[in-house]
Structure 1
Amino acid sequence: MPESSALPTPVAPLIEGATVRLRPLREDDVPALVRNCRDEQAQRFVPVPLDYTTDDALTFLNHTVPDGWRDGTSHVFAVADPAGDTLLGTVGLHAFRATTADVGINLGPAARGRGIGTAACRVIIDYAVEGLGLRRLYWQAYAGNEPSLALARRLGFTFHAELPAFASLRGEPVDVWLLSLAAADVRAAGA
């Protein structure tokens, strides 16, 4: 059996939505990735370094993302504008369990409030349910992240609980809102 590092990394498929494109991250996405991760909203609600640098983006691009695909712990996609193929943010599935995973998204400020998050998440949800056969998806948002909660609810996620000190952000405990969406509800909504 070859060492895991010697195994080829699966490549994220290209998935065309009506208004967004999900594709593999590329090196030319690095400047936009840095801008997105240095944005105040991302700094507040996404566990990225406060001084996010080009080196951080390259580590994410060249190690974190391919390692997640290789070991099956995450499937991260670039969210791109189909017309210019420019990076708007990232969306992915994380924390895979037997038949579930968590959905996560980080959009840059220019992409917010335009329906891009909703469109990207609908595509990733369809990929998770129809492509991977997942039965339930989870959504975690740090308590206070009202835009994330609103997006999850628009997508049909049901709020279950606020979990005290469930996560950590830069070494500090943070409360988390937990929501879920059943595959059956995704299929019923699409019918």
Structure 2
Amino acid sequence: MPETSLRPVAVVPLIEGETVRLRPLREDDVPALVENCRDEQARRFVPVPLDYTEDDALTFLRRTVPDGWREGSGHVFAVADPADDVLLGTVGLHAFRATTADVGVNIGPAARGRGVGTAACRLLIDYAVEGLGLRTLYWQAFVGNVASLALARRLGFTLHAELPGFAALRGEPVDVWLLGLSARTGGPEPREKL
């Protein structure tokens, strides 16, 4: 028996919204996942292999995502169109700490500019706060990713800092904008002017 078949399976909730659905990733999502991760914006700002393949997608789908749910280290959802259930992107929570986690999102090029990222992240935030009891969410965007910064701000995240060399992308240090959103007040956390 393969090692993964001995591990308990985590139940990924289905979260229905008016314009998007958050659901478990499936094997029929692989072609769209590959296309989304090969997109120039994803290759520039998401830590995925430059030559993202079907094998990369299957490893993500069969190992990385289920292990994250099982171990409590990541809750990744497929973002799908509720009309036809086609994959539009992914959204998730990562880097869980006592009452916080980081938000991550990768919306495919065909779905950008239609409010898909905003709708998916709102559902994810509700799940994080109401379902998991998290009190603060963080958003990291590589400096230069103005679309990610704009999305975070639309969602109510407040810019806290620009951190030089805080992250790595394919082995190279990358500067990061760090934003936060507090559930305690129902809005962004206060911050000092940068």
Q: TM-score range by the shorter chain?
A: over 0.9
1:74-93 Cα offsets, whole Å, 9 max, x none, are: 00000000000000000000
The residue number in structure 2 matching 1:161 is 161
Say which is worse superposed, 147-156 or 179-188, in terms of deviation. 179-188
Structure 2 contact 181–187 (Cα < 8 Å) conserved: no
**What TM-score comes out, normalization by structure 2 length?**
0.93
The residue number in structure 1 matching 2:133 is 133
The residue number in structure 1 matching 2:176 is 176
- Inter-partner Cα distance in structure 1 for 2:131 and 2:158: 22
**What TM-score comes out, normalization by structure 1 length?**
0.94
- Inter-partner Cα distance in structure 2 for 1:30 and 1:4: 19
Which contiguous aligned blocks of 4+ residues in structure 1 show a shift greater than 3 angstroms?
Answer: 3-7, 185-188
Unaligned regions of 5+ residues in structure 2, if any? 189-194
Amino acid in structure 1 at the alignment position of 2:62: N
- Inter-partner Cα distance in structure 1 for 2:133 and 2:9: 21
The residue number in structure 2 matching 1:146 is 146
1:48-76 Cα offsets, whole Å, 9 max, x none, are: 00000000000000000000001100000
Identity %: 80
The residue number in structure 1 matching 2:74 is 74
Q: Which of the pair is proportionally richer in helix?
A: 1
The residue number in structure 1 matching 2:6 is 6
Distance 1:4 1:88, change over 3 A: closer
The residue number in structure 2 matching 1:48 is 48
Say which is worse superposed, 7-16 or 178-187, in terms of deviation. 178-187
Amino acid in structure 2 at the alignment position of 1:119: A
**Aligned-residue offset at 1:4:** 9.6
The residue number in structure 2 matching 1:103 is 103
- Inter-partner Cα distance in structure 2 for 1:5 and 1:178: 38
**Aligned-residue offset at 1:5:** 7.6
The residue number in structure 2 matching 1:65 is 65
- Inter-partner Cα distance in structure 1 for 2:61 and 2:32: 12
1:166-185 Cα offsets, whole Å, 9 max, x none, are: 00000100000000000124
The residue number in structure 2 matching 1:91 is 91
1:18-33 matches, within 5 Å, as 18-33=18-33
Size of the alignment, in residue pairs? 186
